[in-house]
Structure 1
Amino acid sequence: MQVECPITTTPLERRGSAASERLRAARVLGAALAQLQARSRVSLRDAACRTGLTPSDTVRILSGAHVPPWPVVHLLTRAFQGDPAELRVLWECSRGQVHSPRMSAEGAAGDLAAALRGLHLAAGCPPLDQLAHGDVLSAAAAGLILAGRLLPDWPATARLASALGGRPSDVYVLWQEVHSTVIALYGSFPPPREPGPPLTDVPNRKDP
């Protein structure tokens, strides 16, 4: 009987894979910042003045060639009139960091929606109908997920991340956090509720 040997990787191969993932995430982060810069029409020179960077450093960041500390990304995002929360997870991926868990269902869901909006921004904000995929994800559902008004299951989340040029692994920890938090608080996923109000209006604990 033929027995298949498990595929193993060496520590060097694992380090190389992790470095490759950080480079990919750096390019995604840079693309998101470049989209914000183009949308805001703030010149690179003005952005550099506002953040204390040189114009050449700003270009390197927006090209994905350099990933600065989070305070610099925060300042650049603000300079380009963007929401830093939407770029936080992209920055964490580019640094190989693990996202810090939230304690509330709405906080975890907000982090997931913000991360997906960051991918949407980095992809150039494609129309919703380009993100749809059969019964897994409709255009309307994609819009609600990005707006933070719909808790997606994993197939829809993975499809949306992939359609936006990211990898499902970029947001899996966030989705898992939302799923486990909602199950713990409400006993089911998604939680029982009437459609309509924003997700942030949902209480963060079970009723007694």
Structure 2
Amino acid sequence: MAQRVQALATELVEAEGRKSDLRELVGLAAAVSAEVAHYVGAAVHDARSQGASWGQVAELAQVSEATARARWGPKALRRQMRRRARQAIAPAVLPAEATAVPGPLEHRRRLGAAISFLLRARGCAVQEVAQKASVSPSCVSRLLAGQRVPDWPVVFTIVTAADGRPEEFRLLWEWARGHRQPSRRSATAALGRFHGALLGLLWATGQASGRSTSSGTLSAVLSGELVPDWAMTHQIVLQLGGDPEQVRPLWEDVQYSFLLAHDFFPVQGTRDVRDLV
């Protein structure tokens, strides 16, 4: 959330530099304010988890203890986080005629969020990853903030330095760079790209480290054991905050490859598929 605040603040500064109209500036300022409020709630949750009393929270926040409990209690915080999640995926669930195609900024943010969660899940600091990847810390920071998308070898090296699987971030990088979908691929590559796209979206939601806890069909899809029909794939992509129309060509490639393949599904599923580059 702190990195999201940074990205929104950067966007606000850039809009001010462009002399954007008041509507855009007020909208961006409101987005910064809302994300700061979400961050404060999450920070209070962390402090409470570490043993802070409501009295201490109230004193630091300069509110009464009753106000602190009402504003950041478990139920209130769950409602707040659900509202934040709904707002994050709202553009993806509008009627088709009203849905805007995600722009480069949104894709840059999604890639940055995914790699940011990877670093957090692995306990890696920006300086540490930058040193391992032989890039500047500012390069990594700007990538995480959605301000810049380096060439794939750089992103590949950063993800590898954080002990991540680059194939799970490749499609996010392609979308962030505005690359067009490739021509038909082998069944193995098609499966790998489809599964990698879903896992990349999962990283962007901050849930990838807990993907093994998913249940039922979703667990089978995310583990690479199942490729569902399009209706279910559409719902899964929406659930992960992605754009179904971007994932559909990948799903279609899988279906096309199945029609031409002698074996309908690899024994190992889509797991450990690596021929993505």
Return the TM-score normalized by structure 1: 0.73
The 5 Å alignment of 1:138-177 reads 139-177=215-253
Is residue 32–residue 122 contact of structure 1 (8 Å, CA) maintained in 2? yes
> For the structure 1 residues 81 and 158, does the alpha-carbon distance in structure 2 shift closer, same or farther, using more than 3 Å as the test?
same
Equivalent in the alignment of 1:115: 197
Q: Using CA pairs below 8 Å that are at least 6 residues apart, which structure has the higher relative contact order? A: 1
Task: Give the deviation of 1:92 after TM superposition.
Answer: 0.3
**SS of the residue 2:131 aligns to:** helix
Is residue 101–residue 108 contact of structure 1 (8 Å, CA) maintained in 2? no
Q: 1:81 aligns with which of 144, 163, 184?
A: 163
Equivalent in the alignment of 1:54: 136
Distance 2:184 2:268 in 1: 18
Give the percent of matched residue pairs that are identical in Structure 1 and Structure 2.
Answer: 33
Equivalent in the alignment of 1:181: 257
Is residue 89–residue 99 contact of structure 1 (8 Å, CA) maintained in 2? no
Task: Give the deviation of 1:182 after TM superposition.
Answer: 1.0
Distance 2:198 2:130 in 1: 27
Which 5+ residue runs of structure 1 have no aligned equivalent? 1-16, 132-138, 202-208
Pick the structure with more helix per residue: 2
> For the structure 1 residues 200 and 27, does the alpha-carbon distance in structure 2 shift closer, same or farther, using more than 3 Å as the test?
closer
Q: 1:63 aligns with which of 145, 150, 156?
A: 145
Letter of the 1:178 counterpart: V
Is residue 221–residue 227 contact of structure 2 (8 Å, CA) maintained in 1? yes
Is residue 40–residue 81 contact of structure 1 (8 Å, CA) maintained in 2? yes
Distance 1:152 1:116 in 2: 12
Q: Does 1:199 align with 2:269?
A: yes
Is residue 108–residue 178 contact of structure 1 (8 Å, CA) maintained in 2? yes
**SS of the residue 1:150 aligns to:** coil
Equivalent in the alignment of 1:24: 106
Letter of the 2:239 counterpart: A
Equivalent in the alignment of 1:43: 125
The 5 Å alignment of 1:8-19 reads none
Task: Give the deviation of 1:170 after TM superposition.
Answer: 2.5
> For the structure 1 residues 26 and 78, does the alpha-carbon distance in structure 2 shift closer, same or farther, using more than 3 Å as the test?
same
> For the structure 1 residues 152 and 101, does the alpha-carbon distance in structure 2 shift closer, same or farther, using more than 3 Å as the test?
farther
Equivalent in the alignment of 1:8: none
